[in-house]
Structure 1
Amino acid sequence: LGVAIGTLVLSVIAGALLGMRRDVTALTGSLALVAGGASGLVVIARELGGDDRVVAVVQYLRVALVTASMPVVVTVIYHADRSRAAPEAMENSTAPWYLSLAVMVALVVVGALGGRLIRLPGAGLLGPLALTVALEVSGLSFGLSVPVLLVQAGYMLIGWQAGLAFTRESLKSVGRLLPAALGLIVFIGVATAGLGIVLARAAGLTPLEGYLATSPGGVYAVLATAVETGSNVTFVIAAQVVRILLMLFAAPFLARAVVWAGRRFGKGQSRAITAESREPIRVAD
């Protein structure tokens, strides 16, 4: 948990630096560099009034860089043996798809309404997510799962929402900020690798396990690498889940603080990125 909070702090620092550019608001910059839950953060950005196009580009750039660099880092720096055969997966009983869909609909409706009643930022995402986490942790999920096709459809809709909003001018603006975003992503990756060293020493892990547990993204690549190298898969994935949940739940509250600070000390929203019809702080207020 301490390492996850440290990662969040690093993300805040990087987001603040990105938000200092003229063509990016502090709100958009902070959400763009939160190290966890890329697709969820794109949705949160749209709901809070940030520029979901910038958030989508920078978030998936982070995931791509972390995933692409992981095999090189694991082999060259940690000299890991990746020749282990993956163990056979245990088959768990799953609930019928129609029951899973019914419970999912109930979680979405109750979670979203409940989140709005308590004025939870990003209630449409975080309300149902909180109920789902509670269901899983309590052991009362009974094999419920979201159908894979529905998951893929959700990813497509999120991508379409962000992608179809691009214009020629916004593409040029995003292109201008990519070098800065790339440098800040590398900064987060190196800094979290340092946190991995601290975690490894504190928890009695190998340096490789510390690196995998604190990787700022690419959770599927982390899982595959942990299995291939014979690492402590349970610990690594538990640490990754803690990171992702912390980032998703902390991001909206962080956005409120960023909007407040931006109003007090910062500048206005850039029209090069965000269309005039948008209301940058409507939900955050």
Structure 2
Amino acid sequence: MSLFRRAWLWAALVLVSGLLAGLLAWAAFPAAVLLGPMIAAMAFSLGGVPLEVPHRAFAAAQAVVGCLVAVTVTPATLAALGQQWLPMLVTIVHIIISGAVVGLVLILRGVVPGSTAAWGASPGGAAAMSIMAESYGADMRMVAFMQYLRMFVVVLTASGVSRLLLGHAVAPPADRALSLGLDAPVLPLALTLLVIACGMLLARRLRVPAGTMLLPMLLAAALNASGLLRITLPAWLLWATYACLGWYIGMRFTRCTVRHALRAIPQLVLATFLLIALCGIAAWMLTAWLGVDPLSAYLATSPGGLDSVVVIAAGSGCDVPFVMAQQTLRLFAVVLIGPQVARLLCRFDARRRGIKETAGNRTGR
């Protein structure tokens, strides 16, 4: 393919991605900046357009996502953990186990394979889970599809619970001028980019699975929580990161993958409601244990996107710091514990398949 044609195709992809992201954002769809490019790249891929995201660009996007997770770890979050560490720890463990149970159900029902079920059912961090899934051999496309389908269902459900069941109407977010973040402070931004570069270099040397995201995340979290560095991620950097991730995932879709994903939607939606119900038990635990109001407890344990849940919490008059602290700690825990949960479910799936094959061979004899 000529350089001119490739540049023209990339320009077309950027334009379509921007239009789709804008439409999704206008419709208040969660993660619109990532989903728009992903849908656009999927359409280009299914149409036979041969484009590919460079590996270094994808690695840089992973590192930025790691820093984005690290930003949520603040002194206030650590203070909340110190004051109420046992109830928060118990509910976080409960929610992680609930995600594993839902993944197990998906395996037993034959909806998706073990590793894909483990990462797709993981409660929180959709972008992070999609990135880590590929590093551990799962189908990144199905994981992303499962994660963002669940996010959409969870956000709608949380809004409905807030408005109908608990009597709180969600206030629309205040109008804000569109900003690229070009006025971001130069020194913190430069140091943040240095953290990203150092994390990527260290991950390349150590060859840790998903290290391109995990090592910058741990380094940035330590600096951010200690107050040594204010991690700065301007809008233009986040938009470029989400676009890169969306294109990388979308370009890997095939007609077969799309057909399988569409057929699995009913079972995946049911699995999402099962996870919401299991997380509801954790909300009841917080209400009974700490006396937290039901809405705050529900939103704190909701297995959806952190940003979307916090917006709902802010517009519903509930305990936003508590919701933020609980969601942040769970996100960090899921990213760190996710590989172990995935390994356990993969071993179970492999053992189950082995038993089935052995039984089939005996029957054949």
TM value normalised by structure 2: 0.65
- Does the alignment pair 1:182 with 2:269? yes
Which residue type is aligned with residue 164 of structure 1? M
Q: Offset at 1:100?
A: 3.6
* Pick aligned residue for 2:300 from 202, 205, 213: 213
Change (3 A) 1:104 1:20: farther
Aligned mates of 1:101, 1:169 — CA distance in 2: 42
Match of 2:311 in 1: 224
Q: Is the 8 A contact 1:12 1:33 kept in 2?
A: yes
Which residue type is aligned with residue 257 of structure 2? S
Q: Which moved more, 1:75-84 or 1:48-57?
A: 75-84
- Does the alignment pair 1:32 with 2:120? yes
Q: Is the 8 A contact 2:203 2:212 kept in 1?
A: yes
Match of 1:235 in 2: 322
- Does the alignment pair 1:254 with 2:341? yes
Q: Offset at 1:37?
A: 0.3
Match of 1:130 in 2: 218
Change (3 A) 1:176 1:120: same
Change (3 A) 1:85 1:38: closer
Q: Is the 8 A contact 1:100 1:146 kept in 2?
A: no
Q: How far does the alpha carbon of each residue in 1:82-128 deviate from its partner, in whole angstroms, 9 at most, with x for none?
A: 56998xxxxxxxx9544344323332343345456666431111111
Q: How far does the alpha carbon of each residue in 1:113-172 deviate from its partner, in whole angstroms, 9 at most, with x for none?
A: 54566664311111111111111211112x331111111111111111111111111111
Q: Which moved more, 1:183-192 or 1:111-120?
A: 111-120
Which residue type is aligned with residue 264 of structure 2? L
Match of 1:104 in 2: 192
Q: How far does the alpha carbon of each residue in 1:55-101 deviate from its partner, in whole angstroms, 9 at most, with x for none?
A: 01110011111112222111221122556998xxxxxxxx9544344
Aligned mates of 1:123, 1:12 — CA distance in 2: 23
Which residue type is aligned with residue 13 of structure 1? V
Change (3 A) 1:113 1:20: farther
| Structure 1 alignment gaps of length 5 or more | 87-94, 268-285
Which residue type is aligned with residue 185 of structure 1? T
Q: How far does the alpha carbon of each residue in 1:192-216 deviate from its partner, in whole angstroms, 9 at most, with x for none?
A: 1221111122112111111111111
Q: Offset at 1:34?
A: 0.5
Change (3 A) 1:117 1:201: farther
Q: Which moved more, 1:99-108 or 1:25-34?
A: 99-108
- Does the alignment pair 1:60 with 2:128? no
Q: Offset at 1:231?
A: 1.5
Matches within 5 A, 1:1-16: 1-16=89-104
Q: Secondary structure at the match of 2:123?
A: coil
Greater percentage in helix: 2
Aligned mates of 2:186, 2:346 — CA distance in 1: 42
RMSD of aligned residue pairs (Cα, Å): 2.5
Q: Is the 8 A contact 1:121 1:253 kept in 2?
A: no
Which residue type is aligned with residue 260 of structure 1? R
Which residue type is aligned with residue 213 of structure 1? A
Q: Is the 8 A contact 1:36 1:216 kept in 2?
A: yes
Aligned mates of 2:171, 2:244 — CA distance in 1: 37
Count of residues paired in the alignment: 259
Larger Rg: 2
